[in-house]
Amino acid sequence: MRMFRLFLITLLFLILVSCENNSFFKKVDFNDGSYKLIFKYINSDYITSEEDHNFYKKYGHFCISDVDALNSLKGLIKEKTKRPSQNSGFTYMISTVSKGENYLLGIYDLQNEVLFSKSYFKLRIEDIENLSNKFIKVEKLKIQFLTIPSLKKGIELLKESSFHIEHYNKIIESGILEFKGMTTLKTTREAISDIENIKSIEKEIKADFGSINFEYRLVSLSADRDSIKIQIASNVNMENSIADNYVIVKPYSETVEIIPIDVYNIENVDLKNLFGNNNIKYKLIE
């Protein structure tokens, strides 16, 4: 478990390094009043409550929208420091939300009191806590949409209602929102030459389905000891178009088996009413 946390934090560091234009905390101008700064405790799903840091136990996930508080916090981040010798594993991911767009600004290590945002900065917990009267508690929800129409409409409603959607860009990049249904197929491991390389698997599957004359998208791939299962999104039934070495596990349907989406309820919106009034089919994952 500890190794998983360290891997996750290292991955987030790499993301920040690669997102140069979005990670300069000091360049964000909070004065137009449209910004919210979200503090998301990224380890809360992976460690027990006994292991949680006291700061998280007290405040959980929260955001700040008060302009004076945001500028005060920004003013505290001045002194550059060295990278900690060891990550503590108690980490907040800090994102900004403004006018429907969100960006990762930094990663804050609670134990070491260090903020990483292109460089390493000393930021005392005491200084953050002095602004706690401006903290707005944020509810984290794990939503699994059950149909593609519900996924499309649900994402739209969440955006309109100021929810922060984790990995929103990855949902867009998956292409699933462009289609009406999905087909789940299975093939043997022997049918794929390089089972260790996801890109290679994707390429071979695309080649196998090269004769299909309509738009489709590979949405997910998973492998077990004997087989590889794939989900393909399209707007038409693929049943008569699949390659010979594939079998249909689940026929074309608007019902989906998609990974739950983490969202943060910033405005304390009643999700049950929001989705119920729009006939959204979903379930919450505990």
Do 103 and 38 contact (CB within 8 A), yes or no?
Answer: no
CATH number for region 145-253:
3.30.70
What are the backbone angles phi and psi of residue 31, rounded to the nearest 5°?
A: -70, -15
Domain ranges of the chain: 2-137, 145-253
Total length of the chain: 286
pTM: 0.74
pLDDT in tens, the chain (286 residues): 444 344 444 444 444 443 443 344 667 788 988 899 999 998 644 444 456 688 988 999 999 999 999 999 888 877 777 777 766 678 899 988 887 777 888 889 888 888 887 788 888 899 999 999 999 999 999 999 999 999 999 999 998 898 988 888 778 877 888 899 999 999 888 777 766 666 777 788 888 888 888 888 888 888 887 888 888 899 999 888 888 889 999 999 998 877 889 999 988 999 999 999 999 999 999 7
